[in-house]
Structure 1
């Protein structure tokens, strides 16, 4: 057998053993959170830590939900009207982090429709002053 094949098999075996011995993620996103029927489900997705096996899917869902809701709001607004939200954070990640912090500080929104809670957050923090 070629030497590279032996090393490849040995390294693959070590990697598999290390992966299977790794402790389970501390957070583990619940599958029903992807339904995003409540604000708490959306917050669960948005706050998924990088070590969670579903991290990429959860964060992408969260960002897509928020971006889609804001895009729909902008599209549904009267043409030529002034924007409703000003001074939004420069990055989507920062905006989502602020939304998560706000939702956790306002537990009364946990069972609300997540889009409604998102707009309540935006109104409370980024409403344009006219």
Structure 2
């Protein structure tokens, strides 16, 4: 999920505007946690229109983007076998949707949902975009 300069600039401007806004929604640390895959699922599944949608959406997208960017950098630099092989056309939102579908399917699996969120995310993306 390559970084597009326009996306990075837009995201940065949106976050700055959100933080500077007098009417910005106050998000407490306990509102957005990334301790487990279940936490990531809860943050990423906040629906548009919910009061916490904007910060949750940015948090979800940022987590996915950071995790995938790290995966790509490590596997490229260290010549390691990649775990995720997505087409160049895949977007962060595509990754979010893949994660949400995987998490919904595995919501009853306490072992998977209690793993660290990066493990759950990589499992979901590797299932959607397997390497051959």
Q: TM-score range by the shorter chain?
A: 0.5 to 0.7
Partners of 1:33 and 1:44 within 8 A in 2: no
TM-score by structure 2 length? Answer: 0.65
Deviation sequence 1:60-108 (CA, Å, 0-9, x none): 0001001101111122224384654333563221220121111110122
Partners of 1:39 and 1:113 within 8 A in 2: yes
Partners of 1:33 and 1:42 within 8 A in 2: no
Q: Aligned-residue CA RMSD in angstroms?
A: 2.4
TM-score by structure 1 length? Answer: 0.66
- Count of residue pairs brought into register by the alignment: 101
Distance of aligned partners of 1:33 and 1:105 in 2 relative to their CA distance in 1, 3 Å threshold: farther
Instruction: Report what 1:69 is aligned to.
Output: 67
Instruction: Report what 1:101 is aligned to.
Output: 101
**Is residue 34 from structure 1 mapped to residue 37 from structure 2 by the alignment?**
no
Structure 1 runs not aligned, ≥5 long:
1-28
Deviation sequence 1:18-65 (CA, Å, 0-9, x none): xxxxxxxxxxx9963512101111111111111111111001000100
Instruction: Report what 2:47 is aligned to.
Output: 49
RCO higher in 1 or 2 (8 Å CA, sep ≥ 6)? Answer: 2
**Is residue 122 from structure 1 mapped to residue 122 from structure 2 by the alignment?**
no
